[in-house]
Amino acid sequence: MEHWDDIRVFLAVAQAEGLSAAAPALRMDPSTLGRRIARLEAAMGGALFVKSPQGYALTDLGERVRARAATAEEALTRALHEGQGAASALTGQIRIGAPDGAANFLLPQVCAAIQKDNPDLEVQILALPRVVNLSRREADMAISVSRPEAGRLTVQKITDYHLHLATRADAPPVQRLADLRGRQIVGYIPDMIFDKELDYLGAIGASKVQLASNSVAVQLQMIRQAGVGIVHDFALPFAPELRQVLVDVLSLRRAFYLVRHASDRHSDRLNRFADALRRGMAEEVARLEAQARLTASPLI
The C-alpha atoms of residue 47 and residue 62 are separated, in whole angstroms, by 7
- Exposed e or buried b per residue across 118-155, where buried means at least 16 C-beta atoms within 10 angstroms of its C-beta: beebebebebbbebbebeebbbbbbbbbbeeeeeebee
Between residues 54 and 34, which one has the greater pLDDT?
Answer: 34
Q: In this predicted structure, what is the pLDDT of residue 86? A: 46
Query: Percentage of the chain surpassing pLDDT 70?
Result: 89
Confidence of residue 224 (pLDDT cuts 50, 70, 90): very high
Can you give the pTM of this predicted structure?
0.69
Between residues 200 and 257, which one has the greater pLDDT?
Answer: 257
Between residues 188 and 86, which one has the greater pLDDT?
Answer: 188
Q: In this predicted structure, what is the pLDDT of residue 185? A: 86
- Angle (CA) 138-142-145 rounded to 5° is 130
Q: In this predicted structure, what is the pLDDT of residue 85? A: 42
Q: In this predicted structure, what is the pLDDT of residue 79? A: 57
Nearest to 25 by CA among 92, 97, 87: 92
Poorest-pLDDT segment among 13-17, 113-117, 134-138, 296-300: 296-300
DSSP state of 133: -
Nearest to 201 by CA among 256, 145, 250: 250
Task: Please determine, for residue 150, whether its predicted confidence score (pLDDT) is greater than 90.
Answer: no
Q: Could you give all domains of the chain from N- to C-terminal order, each with its CATH number? A: 1-88 (1.10.10.10), 160-251 (3.40.190.10)
Q: Are strands 153-168 and 228-232 parallel, antiparallel or unpaired?
A: antiparallel
Q: In this predicted structure, what is the pLDDT of residue 77? A: 57
CA dihedral 218, 220, 223, 228 (to 10 degrees): 120
- Please provide the distance, in angstroms rounded to a whole number, between the alpha carbons at the two ends of the chain: 68
Nearest to 285 by CA among 240, 237, 248: 237
Between residues 106 and 34, which one has the greater pLDDT?
Answer: 106
Q: In this predicted structure, what is the pLDDT of residue 300? A: 44
Residues 263-300 have pLDDT tens digits of 787 788 899 999 999 999 999 999 999 988 876 655 44
Task: Please determine, for residue 182, whether its predicted confidence score (pLDDT) is greater than 80.
Answer: no
User: In a 3-state reduction of DSSP, which class is residue 59?
Assistant: coil
The C-alpha atoms of residue 257 and residue 161 are separated, in whole angstroms, by 11
Rg of the chain taking only CA atoms, in angstroms: 23
Average pLDDT, the chain: 83
Mean pLDDT of 46-69: 84
Residues 81-129 have pLDDT tens digits of 555 444 578 888 899 999 989 999 999 999 999 999 999 999 999 887 6
Q: In this predicted structure, what is the pLDDT of residue 74? A: 63
Q: In this predicted structure, what is the pLDDT of residue 84? A: 46
Between residues 82 and 184, which one has the greater pLDDT?
Answer: 184
The C-alpha atoms of residue 119 and residue 100 are separated, in whole angstroms, by 25
The C-alpha atoms of residue 262 and residue 268 are separated, in whole angstroms, by 13
Residues 6+ apart with CB under 8 A from 293: 233
Mean pLDDT of 194-214: 78
Task: Say how far residue 249 (Cα) sits from the centre of its chain.
Answer: 31
**Helix, strand counts (H, E) of the chain:** 9, 11
Mean pLDDT of 207-220: 87
Query: Percentage of the chain surpassing pLDDT 90?
Result: 30
